[in-house]
Amino acid sequence: MKPPPFEYHDPGSVGEAIALVGRYGGEARLLAGGQSLVPLLNFRLANPAALIDLNRIGELSYIREQDGQVRIGAMTRQRAIECSTIVQQRIPLLAEATRMVGHLPTRTRGTIGGSIAHADPAAEYPCVVRALGGTMVVRSAGGERGIDAAQFFQGFMSTAIGAGEMLDEVRLPVAERGAGWAFEEFSLRRGDFALAGIAAMVVADDERCISARIAACAVGEIPLRLEQVESILRESALSVRTVDEAAKCAAEQVRPEGDIHATADYRRHLVRVLVRRAVTRAAERSRAIGR
């Protein structure tokens, strides 16, 4: 058999799951959709004492709008997010990014919480969460706390989820009125890991850019919010020259590493191209909504 042996638990509630997390200390892994963890098990790169399978916990799967936010349960499938009218209408950037998460058969199982807790630097969801300033709600036996996206991603596949805690819910602010969006990424084959990706949300009228939120994935250990790029765009007329200046700045800000798929320089080049495309498309959408 490919995976190493492990104890298996499939709790029916979050309370039971948290009790198990506490019982195993750091020795157990939570199994969400399994689209990243099971390959690691099959390769025996992960060797947990136990798997705590969250798939029977129905209470972790929901999408609802509340207090200007969309709240998504950690075990909500990517496919459910892709098809959700709330997501399409209230956080369209997330809907667009979801279509680039793996493939249809992996989105059937894959979950938003699993992707964010796994924190692969090339993943789309952490990048969207970072761009929009989302909040991750984690729960433990002692209660719950919210962690801002700026503090949540701490290093390569490493997050602020503490011992005895589990990710419970992801909260994303509803897109502001008139905001345009775009998620642009480049991968060698459709559905592969991105070599670089850019999430953009822009509010613009015919004269100027009112606000911009830009984040990058696959070009650093964690998803990066590109605040300097945002400030170049803000209040500008979004001329071709300004957008290119912002794109150039983005390429300087990111910290890609080279690997067998692409050199660091090539990834920087991609960032420049993708920022230009994403900002242009998001701004066009914003202007079209405003008209």
Partner 1 sequence: MAQPRKVRLTINGSVREASVEPRRLLVDFIREELGLTGTHIGCEHGICGACTVLFNGEAVRSCLMFAVQANGAEVTTVEGLAQGNELHPLQQAFWENHALQCGFCTPGMLIAACDLLRANPSPTEEEIRDGLAAVLCRCTGYQGIVEAVKAAAGKLRS
Contact residues: partner 1, CB under 8 A: 1-8, 10, 34-35, 38-39, 41-43, 51, 53, 55, 79, 102-106, 108-109, 189-191
Q: Which residue has the tokens 């025996």?
A: 44
Adjacency order of strands within the sheet including 209-217: 179-186, 196-204, 209-217, 224-225
Q: What Å distances lie between residue 154 and 25, 117, 222, CA to CA?
A: 20, 11, 7
**At closest approach, how far in Å is the CB of 37 from partner 1?**
9
**Cβ distance to partner 1 smaller for residue 64 or 99:** 99
**At closest approach, how far in Å is the CB of 100 from partner 1?**
10
Query: Can you tell me whether residue 135 is helix, strand or coil?
Result: strand
175 contact partners, CB below 8 Å, separation of at least 6 = 90, 91, 92, 93, 132, 181, 201
**Cβ distance to partner 1 smaller for residue 56 or 64:** 56
**At closest approach, how far in Å is the CB of 280 from partner 1?**
22
**At closest approach, how far in Å is the CB of 83 from partner 1?**
9
Q: How far apart are CA 196 and CA 247, in angstroms?
A: 13
Q: CA end-to-end span of the chain, whole Å?
A: 60
**Cβ distance to partner 1 smaller for residue 8 or 156:** 8
Q: Which residues pair with 159 in a beta bridge?
A: 153
**Cβ distance to partner 1 smaller for residue 55 or 211:** 55
**Cβ distance to partner 1 smaller for residue 1 or 260:** 1
Half-sphere exposure of 112 (CA within 13 A, CB side): 34
**At closest approach, how far in Å is the CB of 47 from partner 1?**
11
**At closest approach, how far in Å is the CB of 112 from partner 1?**
17
**Cβ distance to partner 1 smaller for residue 30 or 249:** 30
